[in-house]
Structure 1
Amino acid sequence: MNWDQIKGNWKQFAGKAKQQWADLTDDDLQQAEGDRDVLEGKIQERYGDSKEEAKKKVDNWMAGL
């Protein structure tokens, strides 16, 4: 699975992201609109993670899809 596939089907994957990161709001996911950098930023903001931690979390999430 690559990020282009996720971005192209963001409405489907937004639900899976919400399951993974329950603290993200629907508004957060809508703002991300499949943009990985925005998603990572929202994860940083909600969970207090560093940029590297958020990137690793997204990488691990993608690997499990």
Structure 2
Amino acid sequence: MKWHHVEENWSAFFDAITDRWPDADEAELEEIDGDQRVFIAYIAELTGQEPGEAREEIREWLRGELPSDVVMDPRHDDHSIRLSGKFLPEGEDEYDDDARYGDDSED
């Protein structure tokens, strides 16, 4: 993914950010508001790294998947839905409430 995906959909990435950096604070993330330089400085402070190291860690994180609620592409919907399962509370099915969207197996 590219930083513009993160910046344009900042709050949609909070779960992915706290999954990667569990000590991240949602209130502080809201203040960062998608500013990449501020986010790098925040992660550097949070992890005790130099900004260059934090920048590399963020670049590695950016190689991951986009949250499904950020970019929906009909060719990748099922894949995105399956990936979103890691952001759901335990016991919840990522395919629940699919009735609003139809059944992909019907033609």
TM (norm. structure 2) is 0.57
Give the aligned residue type for 2:51: K
Instruction: For 1:50-65, list aligned pairs within 5 A.
Output: 50-65=50-65
| Count of aligned pairs between the two proteins | 65
Q: Determine if contact 1:44/1:50 at 8 Å carries over to the other structure.
A: yes
Q: Quote how far apart the aligned CAs of 1:17 are.
A: 0.6
Q: Aligned partners of 1:18 and 1:45: how far apart in 2? A: 15
Q: Tell me which protein shows more helix as a share of its residues.
A: 1
Report the Cα offset of residue 64 of structure 1: 1.2
> Structure 1, unaligned stretches of length 5 or more?
none
Structure whose CA Rg is larger: 2
- After the TM superposition, which parts of structure 1 deviate over 2 Å for at least 4 consecutive aligned residues? none
TM-score, normalising length from structure 1? 0.89
Q: Which residue of 2 aligns with 1:16?
A: 16
Q: Structure 1 counterpart of 2:52, which letter? A: E
Partner Cα separation in structure 2 for residue 11 and residue 26 of structure 1:
9
| Identity %, equivalent residues | 28
1:43 counterpart residue number: 43
